Amino acid sequence: MIIKPKLIKGTRDFNSIEIKKREYIINIIRSNFELYSFEQINTPAIENLSTLSESYGEEGDRLIFKIINSGDYLKNISIDNKTNYKNLLSKISKKALRYDLTIPLARYVAMNQNNIVFPLKRFQIQNVWRADRPQKGRFTEFLQCDADIIGSKSLLLEIELIQLYTSVFKNLNLPITIKLNNRKILLGICEHVGESDKFNDLTIAIDKLDRYSFEKVQDELFNKGFSKLSIIKLKRLFDFRESSFQDKILFFKNIFSNINVGMEGINEVEYIFSNLNGIKNIDFDIKLARGLSYYTGTILEVVCNNVNIGSIGGGGRYDNLTEKFGLKNISGVGISFGLDRIYLVMEELNLFPKILTHSSNFLFLNFGDNFLNESLKYASILRENNISCEIFPDNIKLSKQLSFANKKNIPFIIFIGDNELKNNDIVIKDMRNGNQQNVNKNKFLSTIIEINKNNG
């Protein structure tokens, strides 16, 4: 039987050029992680389902990829009227693909607490999986680049992570805005509108305000049990049109004059903004909620200006993640870079260096076995000097070899034929403008080094 080749929806193959472009982004992110003294760890792609479950809120938990148990897992399971999804799941699945890198980090910290020097600054660059509906910028399998600091409640950490975001996106030449809010402010809003017991429902709904109007979100709030009066109060808060950061702060200080948790959140936001040391591309956005339920304080999100793709980074403060593993009083804060969306934005804005569009700068043409030793000799000399090159493998028509170079965007071709052997030189041709030069073999390496330097 012939199987039609087909990808699973939301997954992708990557060709060599795409990988180069992705590595370009990753290397900039990695170098900044190391500049800020983060150290790398890796965790398994598969975690116990119990490790991940009940960590992301109702909607997040629904998107976890469950793995069916190995072997004859259905042998002793009876399906009857009392069987539902949850009790069946516990019998057929005990493992899952990781949903993010933060919960596995919490598990790692709990398991290795005696060998860790706190505060721990770690970075991690690995794939995660989500059973979400694929669309532009939203994939089933994607790469996350995370930086987290575990073991301190200091707001200095939030400031450092904002600086890290700013540094990375400056290096990538991406025009961004960092949105900042605090979950304590959202808790205060719940208390202010008289719905303190519906915090998770509120954050899930607010998290959709960047895609939907308040009118659509209010229907969801009403269905979750919010009263008409509380929805009216919420609309007034989210319709507030401030003229400055200080106007926002004063407005919410008045709202929270008798609500301690809300005031604490406002004070934290004010402290962070007062210590940003000249960073201007940041906005206090009261509509920012972050759908993941484990955030407890500062929350952050990064969007690219004038590109409609959603967030390209996000994160925040979490105080209780390690408690489910028996380790209490360990606060953490972290951020994530969405590599796949960053890639799409950089493609749209044409920000990748041109050097990334070809596999090497130099191609030796093939004129048959009589000249092969010379090509192999000089290709080896280039490679010994860390200069990438290739030799066309077949002695076919010159036009087809040139077509190969054009299709692979190789800018320079190298001739070693009859004339070159007689004259003890080598021809180097620039495929972009047709210019070519005859170079004495003794000066071949130095000439190539100069060409390579001038062409990235």
Q: Where residue 140 sits, what CATH number does that domain have? A: 3.30.930.10
Range of the domain at 392: 360-454
Residue 186 placed within a domain = yes
Q: Mean pLDDT over residues 27-38, rounded?
A: 98
Residue 147 placed within a domain = yes
Q: Are 312 and 340 members of one domain? A: yes
Q: Are 35 and 161 members of one domain? A: yes
Q: Are 380 and 333 members of one domain? A: no
Q: Are 338 and 396 members of one domain? A: no
Tell me what percent of the residues of the chain surpass a pLDDT of 90: 70
The encoded tokens of residue 435 equal 């210019």
Name the band, by pLDDT with cuts 50, 70 and 90, for residue 80.
low
Q: Tell me the whole-structure pTM to 2 decimals.
A: 0.86
Cα separation, 348 vs 345, whole angstroms? 5
Q: What is the 3-state secondary structure (H, E, C) of 223-274?
A: HCCCCHHHHHHHHHHHCCCCCCHHHHHHHHHHHCCCCHHHHHHHHHHHHHHH
Instruction: Tell me which of 324, 348, 372 is where a domain ends.
Output: 348
Name the band, by pLDDT with cuts 50, 70 and 90, for residue 241.
confident
Asked if 92 contacts 103 with a C-beta cutoff of 8 angstroms, the reply is no
The encoded tokens of residue 387 equal 């200069």
Asked if 364 contacts 389 with a C-beta cutoff of 8 angstroms, the reply is yes
**Position 242: which residue type?**
E
Position 233 pLDDT exceeds 70: yes
Q: Mean pLDDT over residues 204-209, rounded?
A: 82
Question: What local confidence, expressed as pLDDT, does residue 308 receive?
Answer: 86
Residue 199 placed within a domain = yes
Question: What local confidence, expressed as pLDDT, does residue 77 receive?
Answer: 65
Number of domains the chain contains: 2
Q: Are 155 and 207 members of one domain? A: yes
* Alpha-helix residue ranges (DSSP H) falling in 318-386: 339-348, 369-384
Q: Are 234 and 121 members of one domain? A: yes
Q: Which helix (H) or strand (E) holds 423?
A: helix 418-423
Q: Mean pLDDT over residues 46-61, rounded?
A: 88
Q: Are 332 and 371 members of one domain? A: no
Name the band, by pLDDT with cuts 50, 70 and 90, for residue 76.
low
Position 85 pLDDT exceeds 60: no
Position 267 pLDDT exceeds 90: yes
Q: Are 120 and 47 members of one domain? A: yes
Question: What local confidence, expressed as pLDDT, does residue 309 receive?
Answer: 87
Question: What local confidence, expressed as pLDDT, does residue 237 receive?
Answer: 87
Report the range of poorest mean pLDDT among 76-80, 149-153, 242-246, 409-413. Answer: 76-80
Question: What local confidence, expressed as pLDDT, does residue 456 receive?
Answer: 63
Q: Are 367 and 432 members of one domain? A: yes
Q: What is the CATH number of the domain that holds 417?
A: 3.40.50.800
Alpha carbon separation from 85 to 14, 17, 88, 250, 385 (Å, rounded): 36, 44, 5, 48, 61
Question: What local confidence, expressed as pLDDT, does residue 358 receive?
Answer: 67
Residue 137 placed within a domain = yes
Instruction: Tell me which of 348, 379, 408 is where a domain ends.
Output: 348
Tell me what percent of the residues of the chain surpass a pLDDT of 70: 94
* Average of per-residue pLDDT values in the chain: 91
Residue 7 placed within a domain = no
Instruction: Tell me which of 348, 377, 396 is where a domain ends.
Output: 348
Question: What local confidence, expressed as pLDDT, does residue 409 receive?
Answer: 87
Report the range of poorest mean pLDDT among 62-71, 237-246, 297-306. Answer: 237-246
Residue 4 placed within a domain = no
Position 342 pLDDT exceeds 60: yes
The encoded tokens of residue 99 equal 């949903």
Q: Are 116 and 265 members of one domain? A: yes
Q: Are 366 and 285 members of one domain? A: no
Residue 8 placed within a domain = no
Residue 159 placed within a domain = yes
Q: Are 103 and 234 members of one domain? A: yes
**Position 126: which residue type?**
Q
Cα 86 → chain centroid:
31
Q: How many CB atoms neighbour CB 240 within 10 A?
A: 13
Q: What is the pLDDT of residues 427-446, one digit of tens each?
A: 999 999 999 999 999 999 99
